[in-house]
Amino acid sequence: MFIKLPTQQHPTLKILIRNSSKTSLFISAVISCFLHLTSSPVLADNADLDPINSYYLEQAPVVLSATRLSQPQLEAPAAVTIIDREMIKASGLKEIAELFLLVPGMQVAHQNGHYPTATYHGLSDEYSRRMQVLIDGSSMYLPTVGGVLWSDLPLQMEDIERIEVIRGPNAASFGPNSFLGVINITTAHASQDPGLMVKAVTGEKGYRRLLLRHGGSNGDFDYRINASYLEDDGFSTLHDSQKTSTLNGRLDYRATSRDLLQLNFGYSEGPREKGSETFPERTQQREAFYQTLRWEHHKNQDENFSLQFLYNYSNTEDRFFNNFGSGITANIDDSQKAERLDLEFQHTFKPGESTRLVWGLGVRRDRIKMPFWLDQNSYESNYLQRIFANLEWHIFDNLILNTGALYEQNSVTDPAWSPRIALNYLFLPTQSARFIATRAFRTPTITEKNINVVVHTNIEDEQLFKSVNDPNSERADYVEIGYHGIFLNHSLNADFKVYRQTFHQLIGKKDRAYLCSDGSLLYSATCPPSNSLLNPSGDKFTPVGNLDSAVNQGYEMEVNYRPTRRTLIHAGYSKTKIFSRDTKEDFSESAPTDTFNLLVSQKLQNNWQISSAFYYRSEMEWLLSGSPLESHRRIDFTLSKMIKLTEKEALTLSFTMQTALDEGHEFDSDNYLDDRGFLEIEYQLQ
């Protein structure tokens, strides 16, 4: 049985199916199969048909990332997407960055085969500088480019317990990089993964991955250690293969009944192919290392302290000789080194019966060396201090106020103060409305602040990029009205929001210009003799600075439905429109007007599981090196079977197929989208 979709009545569905009947057939088939399976005796006994117990029946989902306080999602001052282990497994996705296809309003693409990027509501190039990414509360974005190199992240997808994505700015909690949203990845406690696991994955385009994991306990000490190796040939049209070896782990130690210690560490290294029309094909050598040490002291049920230390290091070796033609050559050093030290203290307590307060202090030192981008072979540093606080006040049983702010000062820009005020009104025990108003700042990276790209050729020095007028922090003012509801005996969660975000002083590049000694930019005429030209070659160059503003407004909806322990349905839709003067950066085209995602998973009898996902985005263009992209639809299908070998041993076989329904490209015109298939085998001994 197929269900006819009422496309004439729903413009959203018309968008999804306007070019092909494949989308309609797929969605119809998914809904039909779901209705059949949830009413079919192919499922196990009747107990499996009962609504989910424990977590879903006893309480609403809890989020941790909105205010740094543990809060029911009904009371959180943010729109939050939760991706848990069950969703990760059901999706069949192979990269951490691709998991954000499940988030309404997010865009995911590959600049090349080993450089995925993810952003929320556009305004991003391959570096995605306006998103905050945390692992167990520690910031992972690089001080060099301001984003996350997902392929170098020393973390396994199998380590992830859950991901909370704050869909909106949250600088009041996590600082200036939390400009568009926050991705907070929480790893599983080491005690959750005992025993041995071996996993091997093979796929098209030369994809091969091997993972070994071992976990165990000794009294109050738990550990998990992973070693993995990955090969991927990347896009067939690009010189972009990779080979990555990774070692990472987590140690948990209960020192006393009140004190917990947690150590996370990871190291990854390997060669990456690179090359373009401008620069020759070559092989980079990259390595990355991080460690986080966290101490928690629980004074009582309502009060706790934590102290967390982070050390991050990354290094890319990339030196090459380039022939530009016409006898012009240059030796270029595009090597990049970055180091981060961060220390943060946090205190949570209850000042009164109806209030909770979290506050903290942090210090950080970032240090980078980028000879090509800064035209110097020495380190540049940024020293940062921050203080933050958030107060939760239950004014009445059904009216909650959250107010807070973060103050930061650093050595590259003026101090920034990011406040937030939010009200959540529970008009029913399982339904709430929220109002949020906040201001967020984004501190420019050391590179944006000091960019000075000069190619020293054998003929002359050529200025390509240069920061102008001492770039300062970007600013965003954000207002949101949202709704969250829980239905059907806590098995269905629905969220809806409308928002408006105004951006000021956006950092970007403008048309090539002459730079005069007084700091002025001239686009059509050169500088007069009394106002000498600063570009050493006498030619125009591309200025980088606070050159633009924009307004983003729209609405989003998300549904998560788990009617039984065996069934999962997750869907999201986003409508986004960006208005901008677009001096040079195409901010207004950097986000698709429409995105849609649907994931359906069903566990069958005899340990079979079948899942399918549909992803859609409309036309868009990534900033910087991105090309205009047509709308794109993709269907993923995953089938898996677990075989119990003994009481403690299990073997899981799975097949995943990713199918592009539209011919097109990803990120730029050289990245042709192909179908990909994967075979996976996993052995577990507990």
**Residue that has been written with the tokens 């009294």 in this structure:** 219
Buried b (16+ CB within 10 A) or exposed e, 540-578: bbbbbbbbbbbebebbbbbbbbbbbbbbbbbbbbbbbeb
pLDDT at residue 236, as a whole number: 84
Amino acid residing at 295:
W
pLDDT at residue 511, as a whole number: 66
Give the three-class secondary structure for 2: coil
pTM exceeds 0.85, yes or no: yes
pLDDT at residue 626, as a whole number: 85
Alpha carbon distance 499, 553 (integer Å): 6
First to last CA, the chain: 43
pLDDT in tens, 284-320: 999 999 999 999 999 999 999 999 999 999 999 999 9
CATH fold of the domain at 41-685:
Maltoporin; Chain A (2.40.170)
Alpha carbon distance 477, 440 (integer Å): 7
Three-class HEC string of 275-310 = CCCCCCCEEEEEEEEEEEEEEEEEEECCEEEEEEEE
pLDDT at residue 132, as a whole number: 94
Give the three-class secondary structure for 33: helix
Give the three-class secondary structure for 169: coil
Amino acid residing at 335:
S
Phi, psi of 87 (to 5 degrees): -65, -40
All residue ranges of the chain with pLDDT < 70 are 1-60, 511-540, 582-585
Q: Which of 60, 74, 62, 175 is nearest to 402 (CA)?
A: 74
pLDDT at residue 527, as a whole number: 64
pLDDT at residue 10, as a whole number: 41
Burial class of residue 486 in the structure, from the number of CB atoms within 10 Å of its CB (0-12 exposed, 13-18 middle, 19+ buried)? buried
